[in-house]
Structure 1
């Protein structure tokens, strides 16, 4: 799919009316609860229920941390309608083996229909945790592991997609072609906040960044018939701004980014995973590339800490 650039609202509404497919909305969910403790199965059940108000898919980060896969397995089975993108956190060899062990132990208790795919690493290239060659090798390793696992009904996980998630500028960088070639899918993270965008430019920046990444990925892969989605995007609704003139950290601004930027991407047929389900009041401070610290990571939920939805997640087109 060759994607158009950002267009006027009137033209976009007409484009949507002629489009055969609109993207699906998903949501990132942390493995820790509001107090920083690991989510129990009951808390995962609640999270799945809250996410199901606007989505049929959640995305996670690590299967062994906080016993995530062990605890969510019964919740997925009892819910019966939600799917999950599983994350593999590859911070070191010991942890990576723990992640693989969790897959081998708990995937057999779940229907493969509830697993959208497995993401090896989350911004591992951006942080420099792995080289492109090393990440590509781990993607291939997880594919081999899944081929030897069957679900609770005896169906093989061999066809489960394995890919990775990274920042949009990493995919524009042509040095990461090994990863694109190895992956069954790629997810792109893009946050206007971390680029210090103004309110008037945040949606244009989001769409442009994503389009650049998609074009590069499609060129490397040699096809436009390849699954590319947004792994994380959204805007904080509170906390400390990083620079003067930056888009305000308000609910109204987050809703504006959703309607003007995220809904544009959905309208182009791109699946988008919002960051994130609920505010995390105990989350550590975040650090920007220039070393600036901010507490914004505690205010990125579409739900507040009491599970009140902050704004509508229905696109106005």
Structure 2
């Protein structure tokens, strides 16, 4: 790790606890099937039992508050989290227009009302959107990343979310936004930075194909992105909400997928973030149920999460 990053982490350690450690969890499987409470409980328990991690991966990042396939029902991951004592970085999808975002708010308020303090005690924060700003950039459009949202829209949604929780059990919880590091360092998005209580940063050296992105450079490439985001954060905390290295897939410039390189990335980047007390949601526990993604980032291959071994050694 570069010296400047060591200083950054040392400063964080002086003010932070051990930090949240967890994974990203989608609302549905690759075949479109909705995850239900039992699925989420199974995944959350499997994360806690990963060999080599001392049971420390006890947090879950969600992308939406809405149960897949419904209009505004509470996502069943909430009850699963309460049952398994899994902390949550909540997510509200923010790139589908005002009507859909209002449904996200409805589900969020309903969860606060129905589950009260038992729910609120598990909430690390609330992310309004995920990579919405990236998706409207030329790079996002070129990569067919999907529909995004303008900075003014995201900033407004953040304020709306803060107002929506003001008189609920979630009052005072940090409200922020998740995006790529390239979006955070883009000055045209400063209004979003100003509106946030925290910045969630997604950074994947594997995808940075215009740079020297081999696994040998991955640590420096990641921390260049992290340091740049911290510099643009207006003093707000920076949480690492997505990062990882694929265990299979195509070579991207100098970046070669594979379990050996994924293990190196885990050791060099993930373990250093854990040591630094940085809030981290790794991508991902398993992404190959009912389908075969390419690239594949899951540290658990397809199959029974409780039975199949991790693709590589997770000990730091």
TM-score bracket, shorter-length normalisation: 0.7 to 0.9
1:261-316 Cα shifts (integer Å, max 9, x gaps): 2222333332221001212355697xxxxxxxxx21xx11122222232223332x
2:62 aligned residue (57, 60, 64) = 60
8 Å contact from structure 2 (residues 74, 110) kept in 1: no
Matched, 1:253 2:261: yes
The answer on 1:200 being equivalent to 2:216 is yes
Give the aligned partner of residue 99 of structure 2: 94
The equivalent position to 2:190 in structure 1, one of 165, 173, 177, is 177
1:219-258 mapped onto 2 (5 Å cutoff): 221=234, 223=235, 226-243=236-253, 246-258=254-266
Deviation at 1:74, TM superposition (A): 2.3
What stretches of structure 1 move > 4 A for 4+ residues in a row? 19-23, 281-285
The answer to whether the 8 A contact 1:125-1:131 is kept is yes
Residue 153 of structure 1 corresponds to: none
Distance in 1 (CA, whole Å) between partners of 2:47 and 2:175 is 23
Q: CA deviation at 1:38?
A: 0.7
What is the match of residue 4 of structure 2? Answer: 5
Q: Which moved more, 1:101-110 or 1:276-285?
A: 276-285
Structure 1 residue aligned with 2:144: none
**Whole-angstrom distance in 2 between the partners of 1:103 and 1:144:** 12
Distance 1:283 1:85 in 2: 26
Cα deviation code 1:125-172 (max 9, x no counterpart): 111222222211110000000113x3xxxxx21111110001011111
Runs of 5+ unmatched residues, structure 2: 49-54, 137-147
Greater shift, 227-236 or 125-134, is seen at 125-134
Structure 1 segments unaligned to the other structure (5+ residues) = 151-155, 286-294
Q: 1:314 to 1:284 in 2, by over 3 A?
A: closer
Q: Do structure 1's residue 268 and structure 2's residue 276 form an aligned pair?
A: yes
The SS at the match of 2:178 is: strand
CA contact (8 A) 1:31 1:65 kept: yes
Alignment correspondent of 1:122: 130
What do you get for the CA RMSD once the two structures are aligned?
2.5
Q: Which secondary structure does the structure 2 equivalent of 1:276 belong to?
A: coil
Give the TM-score, by structure 1 length: 0.80
Map of 2:86 onto structure 1: 82
Report the TM-score, using the length of structure 2 for normalisation.
0.81
- Deviation larger for 304-313 or 19-28: 19-28
Q: How many residue pairs are counted as aligned between the two chains?
A: 280
Residues 219 and 268 in structure 2, CA contact (< 8 A), matched pair in contact too? yes
* 2:37 is the counterpart of 1:41: yes
Q: CA deviation at 1:35?
A: 4.1
| Cross-structure match for 1:313 | 314
Distance 2:252 2:44 in 1: 33
Once residues 279 and 315 of structure 2 are traced to their aligned partners in structure 1, the CA distance between those partners, rounded to angstroms, is 14
